[in-house]
Amino acid sequence: MDELSERNEQSLYELTARLIMKHNLTISRQGIAKHLSILEDAGLVTSRRKGKYRVLLFNNEPLKGLLDGWID
């Protein structure tokens, strides 16, 4: 989610490359896709077609009221 919040609208390939290079992770594109599927089910990530690619978008709306609930 950090990578998508820093740079939204990335393809799965772009996100995988950033995670591997920036964080030195050893995870496959399929592994990242599984994690993204869970985040998408939770409403934190959405995807849409952009040309011939599907891009991923971070959705921070579900997180906005989170701190209010913890602090009260």
pLDDT at 66: 74
Q: Give the model confidence (pLDDT) of 3-60 as tens digits.
A: 888 888 999 999 999 988 998 888 888 999 999 999 999 999 999 998 898 999 999 8
Q: What is the pTM of this model?
A: 0.76
pLDDT at 25: 86
pLDDT at 62: 82
DSSP character string of 17-64: HHHHHHH-----HHHHHHHHHHHHHTTSEEEEEETTEEEEEE--HHHH
Cα radius of gyration rounded to whole Å, the chain: 13
